[in-house]
Amino acid sequence: MPSTATPRTPRSRSPSRPPAVCSSRSCAPASARSTPSTRWPPHATATATRSHGRSPTPATPSSWRTSSAPICTPTGRCPRDSDLARAIAVLARAQQDAVWNRQQLANQLRSLLREYFPATLDAYLHWQNGLCRPETRILLELAPTPSRAARLSLAQLRSALKRAGRQRGIDADAERIREVLRAEYAHQPPLVEDALGKQMLALLRQLNAACIAADQLAEAVEEAVPQHPDAEIILSFPGLGTQLGARILAEIGDDHTRFTTARGMKAYAGASPITRASGKKSSITRRWVKNDRLNHTGYLWAFAAPTASAGAKAHYDRRREVGDWHAAAQRNLFNKMIGQLYHCLQKHIPFDETLAFRTELPAAA
């Protein structure tokens, strides 16, 4: 018997109350940015954040929701970042995506070369950045198959290294590469080898484009970051260069009233742990709901800071001595340093090593 129940229709939203969604490019609607106290009713943001399993409609495009685009809640307002900060956010996120895409293509190329051309892995991967280096890409384009690579002369290898920009160690590298390429390796049948070489060249063209895009976006970030007034403070921290500093600025913005306390910024970055207690039991776990881009940048920041700061190195070593694993010790260091960054941005002062990592004075006799 057919059901007589009335089908449920989705609730319509008034066109005068669109959801306020913050992204790297805009905060819709634009009028919300002009008024600091602009707040939106609960149903506007609820419709934008929850689809209840329904496919997205033109009124609620799924492209508005990203891991790095916080949605304005009914109890808070959108961050009022400057146009320069938003421009840096666009460039920094695009450069980060380009780096991830470049690494993904390099991994695919390495897997393909392992199937039919393992000599290249022995010849080129000892260089820093391996397959992404211009020398490697030029040599692969010059000899895409083992048979053609074995016929390369020293003059051809030297010329390829010079075209890639090498100025020192050309003769030694050319001789080493020729010996590796002429060594005995297992080979595919000739027809299969030629087909795999054509596949490799197609993948190599994609890698070349990804490398060019990442380099050009990195140059754009290098030009934009020094123009921001907060750049001097951010770059004063150990372990933060222009690229990582731009990613930090892109995710926290330059609205210094966005986070009322350092604790809020730490939670947003996923640096502070979550403590759950029930009765006599308690657990401390890492934070899973966070800004993934900022958290990834913090991992790189905490990895580089101990080599540039004696205080950061001592803090990391102390956490390892009390039983923390490597990732936990790095997360603890990131938690400490992002709290220091919040303080410096609020007070408009640069990083000071002597104040950031104070050592306890020995007790008086």
Question: Which pLDDT tens digit goes with each residue over 235-291?
Answer: 999 999 999 999 999 999 999 989 999 999 999 998 888 888 888 888 878 888 889
What's the CA gap between 344 and 54, in Å, rounded? 45
Q: Are residues 305 and 244 in contact, defined by beta-carbon separation less than 8 angstroms?
A: no
**Residue where a domain stops, chosen among 204, 224, 244:** 224
Q: Which domain holds residue 161?
A: 86-224
Last residue of a domain, one of 201, 224, 247: 224
Q: Is residue 80 part of a domain?
A: no
Residues 121 and 179 in one domain: yes
Specify the pLDDT at position 184: 83
> Are the beta carbons of 342 and 335 closer than 8 angstroms?
no
* Averaged confidence pLDDT in the chain: 81
Q: What is the pLDDT of residue 182?
A: 87
pLDDT at 75: 43
The yes-or-no verdict on residue 31 having pLDDT over 60 is no
Q: What is the pLDDT of residues 149-170, one digit of tens each?
A: 888 899 999 998 888 888 888 8
CA-wise closest residue to 152 among 190, 189, 132, 123: 123
| pLDDT in the model for residue 165 | 85
Residue 14 lies in a domain: no
pLDDT digits (tens, 9 = 90+) for 223-249: 999 999 999 999 999 999 999 999 999
Determine phi and psi for 58, rounding to 5 degrees.
Answer: -60, -25
CB count in 10 Å sphere of residue 66? 16
Task: Pick left, alpha or beta for residue 323 (phi over 0 → left; psi -120 to 50 → alpha; otherwise beta).
Answer: left
Q: How large is the average pLDDT for residues 297-324? A: 93
Residue-wise pLDDT tens digits, 346-362? 999 999 988 888 764 34
Higher pLDDT, residue 86 or 79 = 86
Task: Count structural domains, the chain.
Answer: 3
In a domain, 1, yes or no: no
Taking the model in full, what pTM does it have? 0.74
Specify if 12 maps to a domain.
no
187 and 281 share one domain: no
> Is the previous residue joined to 29 through a cis bond, with omega within 30 degrees of 0?
yes
Alpha carbons 217 and 207: distance in angstroms, whole number: 15
* Any domain includes 2: no
328 part of a folded domain? yes
Angle at 291 between CA 322 and CA 65, to 5 degrees: 160
**37 and 124, same domain (yes or no):** no
Residue spans of alpha helices (H) in 50-169: 83-116, 118-124, 134-142, 146-150, 154-163
Q: Looking at the structure, do residues 218 and 105 belong to the same domain, yes or no?
A: yes
Are 211 and 273 found together in one domain? no
